[in-house]
């Protein structure tokens, strides 16, 4: 297999295809501290793309409750176990050497799904990535074991369980929203024997060419996130298409001037957890420096949002702000060694960070650039830091402005939510 550069792993790795990169890349951030598990995103996607015969059990967007929930059941635990069997005790990170551009999280010393491909007995046909085919039963529900918590025994005297104090809850769960990560080195693409899967050169969205697909399900087996699905009525595989008509600015309701708009699942998010963007990529696959792009700022400059299971090796383009109350070892396995740093920053965001966090779900159009107009200091609040200590957070009522692809201002929002007092003679609720 050729060698390619994976910056999330801080090293080169083997991949079934030669290195080749789009000019820009579809990417997104989900802030898990805010997801309420309402599934509005799930239904927004389903009612747009997967409502037809044969798609009944296909959920391009799903929200599962961790640690026990999953769609398909136990998808991540099963793959982590396969990797551990392939490389016992070796799935570890070396964090002694870091470099903000080349190895922001250190170096992954273990095996990716591509490097471990030969370690599993073959079940028919060549295998380019370590994986497995879920059973029909495992696909049955989008979030089995919903809201089942883990941790210490429930205590009678504390209604929420063992502890309700930050920084970590002893009884915990959280909602993990997931879509296809439109990976830089997709496991689905690398596994397809028909070359039916490709990345669009303009935005890195990963698509399955339905006319080439023969339904061998190698993509279903090779996607570590289980985001490629087999549809029995067409006998082909399908996956999230990144709402590409909206990314191309063809939804006139969302973007009258033809600027790129966010996907349906992002635009519908009730909890304001989602921010989607497009980042510039250079010929080596590195992100072009662009600190005024909110995604670049939050992912590369601040390292607040982290990739989901970077150790799988696909360089996923979905990033997550980890939930503050969850045991750190669980989060480190899921998001890599950057967890402590991310949670530390999120616990007490500084002035610029707090302003940029307001951009989540502030507009349907994709924000390519932000500016901040400074406002007065409005509060000081005591916050609990991850080590249990207290810190004073200063809050400034800054205004953050967002600009679309054509540099048109499409967002203007203040840190402090404006409030309006009704005059007493108006009885607005007297229907
Ligand atoms: S998440 Fe899975 S389906 Fe999506 S691009 Fe990555 S490997 Fe392919
Ligand atoms: S709509 Fe937003 S808050 Fe609701 S489940 Fe989806 S990601 Fe979470």
In a domain, 174, yes or no: yes
CA of 178 to the centre of ligand 2 (A): 10
Residue 165 has pLDDT above 90, yes or no: no
Residue at 373 is within a domain: no
Whole-prediction pTM? 0.94
Residue 35 lies in a domain: yes
Please name the residue whose Cα sits nearest to atom 4 of ligand 1.
180
Which letter, b or e, does each residue of 202-228 get, where b requires 16 or more Cβ atoms within 10 Å of its Cβ? ebbbbbbeeeebebbbbbbbbbbbbbb
Three-state SS string over 108-132 comes to ECCCCCCCCHHHCCCCCCCCCCCCC
Confidence at residue 162, expressed as pLDDT on a 0 to 100 scale: 45
Of 345, 347, 350, 402, give the one whose Cα is nearest residue 373: 402
CA 187 / ligand 1 centre spacing (Å): 6
**Stretch 160-186: mean pLDDT, rounded?**
81
Q: How many Å lie between the centroid of ligand 1 and the Cα of residue 122?
A: 21
Query: Would residue 56 count as lying in a domain?
Result: yes
Q: Tell me, in angstroms, the distance from the centre of ligand 2 to residue 47's CA.
A: 15
Q: What is the CATH classification number for the domain harbouring 267?
A: 3.30.70.20
Which ligand approaches the C-alpha of residue 238 most closely? 1
Using a 6 Å cutoff on CB, does residue 223 contact ligand 1? yes
Closest Cα to atom 6 of ligand 2: 41
Q: Which atom of ligand 2 is nearest to the CA of 175?
A: 8
Q: Give the ligand whose atoms come closest to the C-alpha of residue 323.
A: 2
Query: Of ligand 2's atoms, which has the minimum distance to the CA of residue 36?
Result: 3
359 lines ligand 2 (CB under 6 A): no
Contact by Cβ (8 Å): 247, 205: yes
Ligand 2 centre from 167 Cα, in Å? 23
pLDDT digits over 177-221, tens only?
Answer: 999 999 999 999 999 999 999 999 999 999 999 999 999 999 999
Q: Would the CB of 226 count as within 6 Å of ligand 1?
A: no
User: Is 226 among the domain residues?
Assistant: yes
| Token pair belonging to 40 | 């509005």
Is ligand 2 within 6 A of the CB of residue 142? no
With respect to residue 356, please indicate whether it lies within any of the assigned structural domains.
Answer: no
Q: Cα–Cα–Cα angle for 344, 350, 353, nearest 5°?
A: 90
161 has a pLDDT exceeding 50 = no
* Residue 13 covered by a domain: yes
C-alpha 181 – ligand 1 centre gap (Å): 6
Q: Using CA atoms, how far apart are residues 9 and 18, in angstroms rounded to an integer? A: 18
pLDDT tens digits, 21-43: 999 999 999 999 999 999 999 99
Model pLDDT for residues 331-387, shown as the tens digit of each residue? 999 999 999 999 999 999 999 999 999 999 999 999 999 999 999 999 999 999 999
Q: How many domains does the chain have?
A: 1
- Quick check: CB of 43 below 6 Å from ligand 2? no
Structural contact between residues 403 and 343, judged by C-beta atoms closer than 8 angstroms: no
Q: 122-151 burial, b for 16+ CB within 10 Å, e for fewer?
A: eeeeebbbbbbebeeebbebbbbbbeebbb
Is residue 87 situated within a structural domain? yes
156 Cβ contact list (under 8 Å, min separation 6):
none
pLDDT > 90: percent of the chain: 84
Q: State what percent of residues in the chain have pLDDT above 70.
A: 94
Q: Is 182 in the pocket of ligand 1 (CB under 6 A)?
A: yes
Q: Domain range for residue 95?
A: 3-347
For atom 2 of ligand 2, the residue with the nearest CA is 269
């Amino acid at each position: 297999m050729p060698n390619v550069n994976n910056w999330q792993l801080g090293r080169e790795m083997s991949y079934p295809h030669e290195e080749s990169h789009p000019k820009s890349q579809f990417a997104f951030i989900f802030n898990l501290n805010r997801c309420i598990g309402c599934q509005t995103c799930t239904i927004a996607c389903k009612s747009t793309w997967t409502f037809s015969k044969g798609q009944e059990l296909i959920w391009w967007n799903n929200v599962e409750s961790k640690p026990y929930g999953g769609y398909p059941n136990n998808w991540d635990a099963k793959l982590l176990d396969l990797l551990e069997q392939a490389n016992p005790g070796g799935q570890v990170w070396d964090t002694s050497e870091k470099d903000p551009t080349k190895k922001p999280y250190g170096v992954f010393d273990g095996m990716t799904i591509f490097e471990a491909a030969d370690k599993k007995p073959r079940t028919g046909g060549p295998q380019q990535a370590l994986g497995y085919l879920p059973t029909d039963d495992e696909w049955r529900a989008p979030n089995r074991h919903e809201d089942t918590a883990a941790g210490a025994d429930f205590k009678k005297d504390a209604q929420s369980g063992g502890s309700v104090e930050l920084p970590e809850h002893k009884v915990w769960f959280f909602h993990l929203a997931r879509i296809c990560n439109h990976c830089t080195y997709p496991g689905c693409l690398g596994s397809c024997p028909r070359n039916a899967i490709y990345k669009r050169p303009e935005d890195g969205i990963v698509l399955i060419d339905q006319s080439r697909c023969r339904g061998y399900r190698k993509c279903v087996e090779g996607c570590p996130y289980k985001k490629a699905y087999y549809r029995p009525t067409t006998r082909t595989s399908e996956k999230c298409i990144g709402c590409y008509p909206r990314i191309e600015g063809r939804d006139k309701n969302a973007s009258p001037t033809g600027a790129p708009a966010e996907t349906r699942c992002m635009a519908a998010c009730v909890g304001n957890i989602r921010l989607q963007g497009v980042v510039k990529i250079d010929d080596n696959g590195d992100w072009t420096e662009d600190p005024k792009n909110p995604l670049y700022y939050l992912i590369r400059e601040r390292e607040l949002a982290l990739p989901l299971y970077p150790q799988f090796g696909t360089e996923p383009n979905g990033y997550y702000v980890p939930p503050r109350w969850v045991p750190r070892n669980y989060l480190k396995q899921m998001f890599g060694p950057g967890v402590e740093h991310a949670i530390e920053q999120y616990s007490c965001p500084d002035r610029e960070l707090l302003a940029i966090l307001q951009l989540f779900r502030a507009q349907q159009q994709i924000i390519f650039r932000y500016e901040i107009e400074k406002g007065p200091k409005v509060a000081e609040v005591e916050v609990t830091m991850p080590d249990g200590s207290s810190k004073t957070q200063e809050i400034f009522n800054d205004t953050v402005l967002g600009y679309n692809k054509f540099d048109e201002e499409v967002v203007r929002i203040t840190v402090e939510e404006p409030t309006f007092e009704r005059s007493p003679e108006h009885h607005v609720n007297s229907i």
